[in-house]
Amino acid sequence: MASHRKSRPTGTRVAGIRTPALATAALTSVALLSQSANAAPEADDKPSLEEVEKKVDDLYRQAESATDKYNAAKEKTAKQRKRVDTLLDDVAERAQKLNEAREELGSFASAQYRTGAAAPDTATFLLADTPQDYFDQTQLMDRMTGRQKVAVDDYVTQQSETMKKRQEATESLETLTDSQDGLRTAKATVQRKLAAARELMSKLTAEEKARLAAIEKEKRAEAARKADELARQQAAQQQKAQDEAAQQQDSGSSSSGSSGSGSSSSTAPADSSYATKADKALAFARAQIGKPYVWGAVGPGSYDCSGLTQAAWKAAGVTLPRTTYDQVNAGTTVPLSQAQPGDLVFFYDDVTHVGIYIGNGMMIHAPKPGTYVREESIFYDGESAIHSVVRPA
């Protein structure tokens, strides 16, 4: 760092003013320093290509996280809407019964009015033509009063239950409104993130886009190298397991063959069953290659990441939850080195992405908006991005 001590000017001074030559030089230096100071922030304000790439990737990840929240809100809204519809149907049915009870009460009231009031008395006896008529009228009115009491009780019960169901329907409608608000919020968040990512990419020059493509190519080459390495490790482990199984079989056949064969039959069916289901799931996933990623989509024309894995395993007869952070708990976690075709590979600490493993370090997944369902190395975003591997069946 230069010293703050000012050096004495070499030129002559007249009345405290430097000579014109030195004054001009000083003014030039000030102008250059001023230009440098003004230019520096502009250079600092412009992010590097690597920073732009990281920012875009972060925005896509945030959009994917928001997509999962959107999916969860959408699922909750659908369930709540179904509950509201059921409650409203129940309320309508109870209202019909309430109207029928009200009509029955009205008919009893009319009958009472026609027969002339309530309980039989001396006047009723005097108006009767014969004592037998009196007793007949008394029995009729007693029966009518009893049926009326039943009708009143039924009416009160129906009214109480109808009010209760109406209250439940009102509360469910309020919950549905909240769910719809959450759905709109999540959708708006996704759209904001995607718009910001597109805006960043649109500002890149042709040269910067070419450099970005070169960086992406290097990343894919590194991901492919890691995938090959994992495939070799898995092949070695599989060969080792086969050798150990063969040794155990040889050992068992020489000493207790029946015990060895029993042990083999206890593990093979489970593996075979999983492989059969996994084959169906993978066949479905492969058939979707080339279809676009669309957030919130579950097929058949487009998918998001968890929508693809859910649909693939549904084709194999296995029901998975809708979102990644629910799917990660829908099975058995296994080490990456023991991943088998059909397993689900989850990414990032917040579990916001998933693909279906096809073997040899590769997977089929719906990557992000603007892309298509494709095969890709599970190391596409680096080994540290892998969160876990889950066997769903």
How far, in Å, CA of 226 to CA of 361, rounded?
A: 8
Please indicate whether residue 305 is annotated as part of the active site.
yes
Residue 204 CA to chain centroid, in angstroms?
A: 32
State the catalytic residue, choosing from 61, 165, 291, 365.
365
* Nearest CA among 89, 68, 85, 72 for reference residue 179: 72
Contact predicate 331/342, CB 8 Å: no
Contact predicate 87/169, CB 8 Å: yes
Is it true that the peptide bond before 41 is cis, omega within 30 degrees of 0?
no
How far, in Å, CA of 108 to CA of 76, rounded?
A: 48
Tell me the torsion sign for CA atoms 278, 284, 290, 295: negative
* Nearest CA among 147, 158, 151 for reference residue 97: 158
State the catalytic residue, choosing from 59, 297, 305, 328.
305
The CB density around residue 376, as the number of other CB atoms within 10 Å, is 18
* Backbone torsions φ then ψ of 352, nearest 5 degrees: -105, 5
State the catalytic residue, choosing from 61, 69, 74, 353.
353
* Nearest CA among 388, 391, 390, 361 for reference residue 376: 361
Residues with a catalytic annotation lie at 305, 353, 365
